[in-house]
Structure 1
Amino acid sequence: MISIRNARDDETAILREIGVRAWEQAVAPIGATADMRANAEIAFENFTKSSWLTITVAELDGVVAGWASREGLDETITDFWVDPTLQHQGVGTALLAEVEDEIVRQGFVVARLETHARNTDAVGFFEKNGYSINWLSVAYAPKLDQDVQSVGLSKQLAAEEPATYGPGF
Structure 2
Amino acid sequence: MIVIRNAYQQEAEVLSAIGLRSWRQATMALGITATLYENAASAFSNFTRSSWLAIRVAEFGGAVAGWAAREHFDETISDFWIDPDFQRKRVGSFLLADMERLIEGRGFDTIRLETHAQNEPAVAFFRHHGYSVRWLSISYAVKLDRDVQSVGLQKQLVEVESGLYGTEF
Give the TM-score, by structure 2 length: 0.93
The equivalences for 1:41-120 within 5 A come to 41-120=41-120
SS at structure 1 position matched to 2:37? helix
Deviation at 1:133, TM superposition (A): 0.3
Detail structure 1 runs of 4+ shifted over 3 Å in the superposition: 159-162
**One-letter amino acid matched to 2:71:** E
Task: Find the counterpart in structure 2 of residue 134 from structure 1.
Answer: 134
Deviation at 1:161, TM superposition (A): 9.2
Deviation at 1:159, TM superposition (A): 3.5
Deviation at 1:142, TM superposition (A): 1.6
Work out the CA distance in 2 between the residues paired with 1:143 and 1:126: 27
Deviation at 1:31, TM superposition (A): 1.1
What is the Cα-based RMSD across aligned positions, in Å? 1.3
Work out the CA distance in 2 between the residues paired with 1:74 and 1:50: 17
Runs of 5+ consecutive residues of structure 2 not aligned to the other structure: 163-169
Deviation at 1:39, TM superposition (A): 0.6
Runs of 5+ consecutive residues of structure 1 not aligned to the other structure: 163-169
**One-letter amino acid matched to 1:69:** A
After superposition, give the CA deviation of every residue in 1:78-109 in whole Å (9 maximum; x if it has no partner): 00000001100000000000000000011101
After superposition, give the CA deviation of every residue in 1:43-68 in whole Å (9 maximum; x if it has no partner): 01110010000000000000000000
Task: Find the counterpart in structure 2 of residue 125 from structure 1.
Answer: 125
SS at structure 1 position matched to 2:112? strand
| Alignment coverage as a number of residue pairs | 162
The equivalences for 1:33-44 within 5 A come to 33-44=33-44
Give the TM-score, by structure 1 length: 0.93
